[in-house]
């Protein structure tokens, strides 16, 4: 059966509010063709590609928007610098002949900043960037998309400039859904087919700029060629396109735990799973209940066991896990991140000339409730929506021009709203 799932289009809004002009990218240029569903753009390329960033500068920029994820920031910054320094050198004619691309695999639970990290980094570097969900592709490309469309989208994002497109970033989310032996939700063989189709892109492939399935496109190209206006290039090479893939990989921690336990069992020779388990538990350096600790120990065989093809995994040499966000992290997401949700609320109320002040006890309570949702920072959106629902509905037509978000407001928004309205009657 072919995969008919489609990707969710995700509008990637700017996260560079307040970024100094020196490192701000130009406003996203409209692509000539309408964007495809499931593929989004954050940044238009600058006219000439400049790259003089150092890993720490990228990490510092990411710190402004993404809370925690130190290891992911470090690993990503280094991979991005390696890649784009190589691109710069290649442009200067100093290419390393056998350069191996530093494609990245980012894993971790939902809502902890994986997409946010990549989006923020792509904006900073200012290269063409496309994002899509792996679930929208099928092996044949007849139902669902064809993975080569990613390259064609990158070409459109770069204003049909092959030079720029050849140095872009393709970000593929939900690659864990391509796993054929994923625990729980089995996927048909199409997942393997999609992985195989991606291999060529991830390494060094020449992708036709008009899809063989696109009859209209084929016809237009043929007509343009007849008029003598054929495009200068009809394929795009992917050698310098950086691939970043990500996924939640739920269940992989269990596989890693099992492997660690089994290796202990074999190691002790005395056998007995219980014994091995007890030994591992006694060892304070082993934290078998700690998902973050387990993910940091993930190996290639774990990913193969999970159901990804060895050839696919082999082309993703840089791997890093994002950790879950605890209450303190969520508090900081609200308080410190420049992309904090509270800015959005301040703005929404300011549109009606209402000033809202967030007190720390209010933020703390929001973080506590969001933590219980277990959906990472996305839990903050769920909680805020619930808390501010009635206030957003009622206050714009009231005389209230100012209010404060406290813990008690978070716990009893309706009662607090009543008090606010009564005071202004």
Ligand X SMILES: Nc1ncnc2c1ncn2[C@@H]1O[C@H](COP(=O)(O)OP(=O)(O)OP(=O)(O)O)[C@@H](O)[C@H]1O
List interacting residues with Mg ion (CB under 5 A).
114-115, 173
Bridge-based pairing of strands 235-237 and 206-208 is antiparallel
User: Taking CB under 6 A as the rule, does residue 377 contact ligand X?
Assistant: yes
Strands 355-358 and 169-173: unpaired
Figure out which of the listed residues 91, 110, 211, 382 binds ligand X, where binding follows CB under 6 A: 110
Nearer to ligand X, 377 or 409 (CB): 377
What is the helix (H) or strand (E) element at residue 235, kind and residue range?
Answer: strand 235-237
Taking CB atoms, the residue at the shortest distance from ligand X is: 113
- Interacting residue with ligand X among 207, 248, 409, 420 (CB under 6 A): 248
Contact map string, positions 157 to 196, toward ligand X, x by CB under 6 A? ----------------x-----------------------
Task: Confirm or reject binding of residue 111 to ligand X (CB under 6 A).
Answer: yes
Q: What CA–CA distance (Å, rounded) separates 392 from 372?
A: 24
Contact 123, 28 (CB under 8 A): no
> Read out DSSP for 189-231?
THHHHHHHHHHHHHSS-EEESS-TT-HHHHHHHHHHHHTT---
The DSSP string of 162-198 is: HHHHTT-EEEEE-GGGG-TT-SSS---THHHHHHHHH
Neighbours of 401 (CB within 10 A): 12
Enumerate residues 3-32 that contact ligand X by CB under 6 A.
none
- Residue 369 touches which of ligand X, Mg ion, none (CB < 5 to 8 A by kind)? none
From residue 56 to residue 75, what is the string marking binding to ligand X with x (rule CB under 6 A)? Answer: ----------xxxx------
Q: How far is the CB of 41 from Mg ion (least distance, A)?
A: 16
Q: Which stretch binds ligand X (CB under 6 A): 23-31, 33-41, 266-274, 375-383?
A: 375-383
Q: 12 vs 34, 38, 42, 140, 261, CA distance in Å?
A: 16, 11, 6, 28, 42
Contact 143, 2 (CB under 8 A): yes
Residue window 329-358: x/- pattern of binding to ligand X, with contact defined by CB under 6 A: ----x---x-x-------------------
**Toward Mg ion, which CB reaches closer, 318 or 420?**
318
Measured from the CB of residue 308, what is the shortest distance to Mg ion in angstroms? 18
Q: Find the binding residues for ligand X in span 391-410 (CB under 6 A).
A: none
Residue nearest to Mg ion (CB): 115
Does position 38 bind ligand X by CB under 6 A? no
**Taking a C-beta distance cutoff of 8 angstroms, is the pair 322, 69 a contact?**
yes
Q: Where does residue 355 fall: left (phi above 0), alpha (psi -120 to 50 degrees), or beta otherwise?
A: beta
Shortest distance, CB of residue 186 to ligand X, whole angstroms? 20
Residues lying near ligand X in the complex (CB under 6 A) are found at 66-69, 110-116, 173, 248, 325, 333, 337, 339, 376-378
């Amino acid at each position: 059966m072919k995969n008919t799932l489609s990707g969710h289009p995700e509008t990637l809004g700017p996260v560079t509010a307040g970024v100094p002009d020196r490192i701000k990218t130009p406003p996203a240029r409209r692509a000539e063709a309408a964007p495809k569903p499931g593929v989004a753009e954050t940044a238009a390329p600058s006219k000439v590609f400049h790259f003089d960033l150092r890993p720490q500068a990228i990490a510092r920029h990411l710190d402004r928007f993404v809370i925690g994820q130190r290891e992911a920031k470090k690993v990503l910054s280094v991979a991005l610098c390696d890649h784009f320094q190589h691109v710069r050198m290649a442009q200067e004619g100093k290419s390393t002949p056998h350069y191996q691309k530093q494609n990245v695999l980012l894993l971790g639970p939902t809502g902890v900043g994986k997409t946010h990290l990549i989006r923020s980094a792509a904006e900073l570097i200012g290269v063409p960037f496309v994002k899509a969900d792996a679930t929208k592709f099928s092996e044949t490309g007849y139902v669902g998309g064809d993975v080569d469309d990613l390259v064609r989208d990158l070409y459109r994002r770069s204003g049909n400039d092959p030079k720029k497109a050849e140095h872009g970033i393709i970000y593929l989310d939900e690659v864990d859904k391509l796993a054929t032996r994923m625990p729980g939700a089995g996927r048909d063989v199409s997942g393997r087919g999609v992985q195989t189709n991606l291999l060529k892109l991830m390494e060094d492939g020449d992708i036709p700029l008009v899809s063989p399935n696109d009859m209209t496109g084929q016809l237009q190209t043929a007509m343009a060629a007849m008029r003598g206006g054929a495009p200068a290039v009809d394929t795009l090479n992917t050698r310098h396109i950086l691939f970043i893939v990500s996924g939640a990989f739920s269940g992989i921690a269990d596989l890693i735990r099992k492997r660690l336990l089994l290796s202990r069992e074999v190691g002790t020779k005395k056998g007995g799973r219980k014994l091995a388990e007890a030994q591992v538990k006694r060892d304070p350096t082993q934290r078998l209940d700690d998902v973050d600790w387990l993910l940091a120990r993930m190996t290639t065989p774990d990913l193969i066991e999970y159901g990804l093809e060895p050839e696919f995994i082999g082309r993703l040499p840089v791997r890093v896990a994002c950790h879950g966000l605890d209450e303190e992290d969520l508090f900081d997401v609200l308080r410190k991140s420049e992309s904090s949700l509270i800015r959005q609320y301040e703005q929404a109320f300011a549109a009606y000339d209402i000033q809202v002040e967030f007190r720390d006890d209010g933020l703390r309570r929001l973080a506590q409730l969001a933590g219980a949702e277990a959906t990472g920072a996305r839990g903050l959106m769920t909680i805020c929506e619930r808390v501010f629902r009635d206030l957003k509905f009622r206050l714009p037509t009231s005389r209230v021009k100012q209010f404060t978000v406290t813990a008690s407001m978070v716990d009893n928004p309706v009662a607090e709203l009543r008090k606010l309205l009564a005071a202004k009657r």
